[in-house]
Structure 1
Amino acid sequence: MNSNWRKIFNIIQKPERIIIGLMSGTSMDGLDIALCGVSGSGTDTKVRVIEFKTVEYTETFKAEIKSIFSRRDADLQMVCMMNEKIALVHSEMILEAIDSWGYKSDEIDVIASHGQTIFHAPKSLHGLDGYPDGTLQIGDGDHIAVKTGIVTIADFRQKHIAAGGEGAPLAVYGDYLLFSKKGEDRIMLNIGGIANFTYLPADNDAAKVFSTDVGPGNTLMDQYVQKNYSGLYFDKDATIASSGTISEALLSELMLSGFLDADFPKTTGPELFNLGYLEQAQKASGTMTIRNEDVLATLCCFSARVIINAIEKCFGKAAGPAVYISGGGIHNPMLLDQLKKGLYNASFHTTDDLEINPDAKEGVLFAILANETLVGGNTNFGNRQGVPSVTMGKICLPY
């Protein structure tokens, strides 16, 4: 037997696998590294988060990624080189994190690497006849495996598309396996660059579970801050937005996207919700000259409104689901306040209440997907659009 497969065979037999889950989102602020102990599979999955850290990107590295991110005119040579460079940078970050935690590489069974999304192109966005759904995450898994010496599972979204999904969001799988609770309707709300949620029904029926993007989370606010405030990448604690006044005219125009009225499940990205979208809305609403802080206040309200509308669409205005929030949006007090006021019957929590650090949640979910690739893959989510019952990820061998 090839020594790589012998190693994987031994990992599969272990009662608990030590898996590092990686996530770098559209905010491009850094790499989330979650060191997890994962046992069981399917609905018997158990996870303990052993260590977690976010390693910030340098300004130069951020600029390199931004030069090819969500751009139709991206330099193909740069895309090619960054596929390798991102993997090598991530590998160094992983090795440093492992060392800082007192571990050695041979004590880690698997790395689950999401990669860095640089373009997301489902049919619903590109609208081109004769072309399929598409998405691209770079940060080559083979480079990570060879550099770290650890089996790496990467490129999860391609199987989802091949099996009839749109490549996003993938949280539905881990959310269902970890967080479903009999007798409680739950919304697992992740507010990253794009806001998405997973609906977990109180009857625990996997065939009813779905995950969907709902619209912009932090992406428009972050893009606007980066353009208009030198040296800032986001509006920390909503300090700028809180000093502004919401423009109802601009808000009404922002809410006119056809995506917001589309049925669940659906997926989107900065390819739609970007500064061009904002500029078009400002021109149409006659708000090109309002203050920057008023624009930010309106963008924050826009994100809150699309989340509120999506949850009400799922449950109705009178229902009171339990909403568990994760992602960078948990650090925006203005956004959270608007959500609580708009969904006054809901109970709000973070995933801390479920013993998962909300900042670590996405990394943990990819660790779960890797675990399912190795020992699971038997959960049936029904024959539905957007939630194919598939095993995801490509296995990259270290030697």
Structure 2
Amino acid sequence: MTELMATRPKVFPFTALVGQQTLQRALLLVAIDPGIGGVLISGPRGTAKSTAARALADLLPQAPFVTLPLAASLEQLVGTLNVEDVLRDGQLRLAPGLVARAHHGVLYVDEVNLLPDALVDALLDVAASGVNTVERDGISQQHAARFVLVGTMNPEEGELRPQLLDRFGLLVALENQRDPTERQAILQVRLAFDDAPQALHASHAEALQNLAVQVATARAALPRLAWSDAVLARAAQWALSAGVDGVRADLVMLRAARAWAALQGRQAVTVEDVDVVAELALAHRRTDASSGGGAPHQASGPDGAAKPSPPRAPSEKQSDSSGSPSSATPQPRGDWGALPPQPVATTRVHTVAGWPAKKA
């Protein structure tokens, strides 16, 4: 058995990921504070979405990695109560679901955009609260379910409804790697892992250990970090600039900024911490009615350099080349990809030879 464990291929090291700094940052933030609401990774095939999720679970000490299958039912996800046992011997027994198995670990949902909305809604409720409530026939029971939620999706296969998209704390949008040098580096480390996974993991053992300790320290430091009025104002300005609905974006931004400050070993959250995480919290929440009111025009980045204010969504009224507003009517907001009704000419149906004429 010892030989089998020693020769078993290891998970790709988290610190060996190449060209995925934004993704690594988002995953570390939700690992430090799962209350952020998880991270949604959107991108084409082959962009290391599942590899990064597994690597995060391997980084955390004794963290289970649970995968939610597409065909899962609601009872399989949240669990169920055996009412028959109550009637028979008065004992209430809980049949735990996947969220219970993922407690203190990572719950990975591949192709989350293909799951039924009710399943996604229940999953996001548990991820945000850290508590799962199982109800059946008027009987309910609660248990802790604190896990890191990682969802992935390929936009080519369909989108999430905006109401569900907003429930994810952070969003990372990946693209195919176009830089030849970066692409070569990815190939080199991937081939090294395929040829000798144990050797690659050993070469990153020290970095992985240091990062694991850093995450654990940041988790413990979270309750001691406070937000100043300046930090609250900065988050509000970013949210107003993006034209988001409600205050969920502000709250997520603040929690993510606190997690980033804790990861950096700071004793308080700074304005710069908000700037670092703002795009992760706002990328999937911007609306077409975005206005620039109150947003910082030059936000300082983590390195102190000037950073432009967040991009704004295009207005409903577009201007033509002459600068005057276009008079085109806005497209209907139905299902994504739906086209407006088009007039279609009708043709007369001729009698087919051999078939009797229709009687009056």
Structure 1 length as normaliser, TM-score? 0.25
Higher alpha-carbon Rg: 2
Structure with more relative contact order (C-alpha pairs < 8 Å, separation 6 or more):
1
TM-score normalised by L of structure 2: 0.27
